[in-house]
């Protein structure tokens, strides 16, 4: 395994008494894209919500096991610090509706009470929008509301907002499911470029997308991590019969 940034050890997740993840063990390689794939309701989103401690925000939700960022146990860290180091972009684009494009990008700093000088704000905004492949489209309208943008642009704005905090890991939860094919293609191209700067974990039920953009794939089924490995190998010679049946459309 390549250099590991995130190590998940015996992770179980619960909603009350109901177990939604069963003893997941996973080592996520640094500066690669790892797809988390599986049918709806299998636990994919719960898995990544555990990784940045959002799962525990749901009443009655709990976890057992450990998640290590480098060698730091995330459950011994301040959750705000965890979410700064592990950013997340959701299924539906959600720019803050009252804020300009500019203010959306640096919203994380304001929410955390971090004061930035104008020059530093300008630099972070431009760098983040460049990384999110949005700068050229918005640089002349940067003080207009973020909701003025198209769906695909809004999703890239949300990615820029996460990147502005300089995270080490970026969690993307079905980031293209609400977008048209052209916008989806832009986001996929962006995912490809992002791993130069950040480790990407992408939740998707779209097998073709996982095959196109990821270096590694984890297949989750009924709360269990069934198989994990290099994407090309998992798609061509899966080791587990359930992976093969999912890939050939026998269920899902």
What's the CATH code of the domain at 137?
A: 3.40.50.300
Q: Give Cβ neighbours of residue 232 (< 8 Å, ≥ 6 apart).
A: none
Count CB atoms within 10 A of the CB of residue 158. 25
- 85 lies in some domain: yes
Could you tell me which of 89, 32, 42 has the C-alpha nearest to residue 213? 32
What is the model's pLDDT at position 250?
84
What is the model's pLDDT at position 1?
53
- 241 lies in some domain: yes
Count CB atoms within 10 A of the CB of residue 219. 27
Q: Give Cβ neighbours of residue 113 (< 8 Å, ≥ 6 apart).
A: none
- The number of domains in the chain is 1
- 34 lies in some domain: yes
Helix, strand, or coil here: 92? coil
- 154 lies in some domain: yes
Tokens for 43?
A: 């636990």
- 252 lies in some domain: no
Tell me the CA distances in angstroms from 113 to 53, 107, 108, 109, one per residue in order: 20, 10, 9, 6
Strand bridging mode 169-173 / 199-204: parallel
What is the model's pLDDT at position 205?
87
What is the model's pLDDT at position 252?
67
| CA–CA dist 230, 60 (Å, integer) | 35
Ranges of the chain with pLDDT below 70: 1-2, 252
- 24 lies in some domain: yes
What is the model's pLDDT at position 54?
95
Residue 64: domain span? 4-247
- 114 lies in some domain: yes
Half-sphere exposure of 188 (CA within 13 A, CB side): 20
């Amino acid at each position: 395994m390549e250099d590991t940034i995130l190590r998940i050890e015996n992770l179980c997740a619960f909603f009350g008494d109901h177990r939604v993840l069963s003893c997941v063990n996973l080592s996520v390689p640094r500066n690669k894209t790892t797809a988390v794939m599986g049918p709806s309701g299998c636990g994919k989103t719960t898995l990544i919500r555990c990784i940045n401690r959002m799962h525990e925000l749901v009443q009655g939700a709990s976890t057992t096991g450990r998640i290590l960022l480098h060698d730091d146990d995330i459950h011994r860290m301040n959750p705000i610090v965890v979410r700064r180091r592990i950013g997340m972009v959701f299924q539906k684009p959600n720019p803050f509706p009252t804020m300009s494009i500019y203010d959306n990008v640096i919203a994380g700093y304001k929410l955390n009470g971090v004061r930035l000088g104008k020059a530093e704000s300008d630099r972070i905004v431009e760098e983040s929008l460049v990384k999110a492949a949005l700068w050229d489209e918005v640089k002349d309208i940067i003080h207009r509301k973020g909701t003025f943008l198209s769906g695909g642009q809004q999703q890239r704005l949300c990615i820029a907002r996460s990147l502005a905090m300089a995270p080490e890991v970026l969690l993307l939860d079905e980031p293209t499911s609400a977008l048209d094919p052209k916008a989806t293609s832009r986001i996929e191209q962006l995912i490809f470029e992002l791993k130069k700067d950040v480790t990407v974990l992408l939740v998707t039920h779209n097998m073709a997308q996982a095959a196109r953009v990821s270096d590694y794939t984890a297949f989750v089924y009924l709360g269990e991590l069934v198989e994990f490995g290099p994407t090309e190998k998992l798609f061509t010679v899966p080791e587990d019969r359930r992976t093969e049946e999912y890939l050939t459309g026998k269920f899902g």
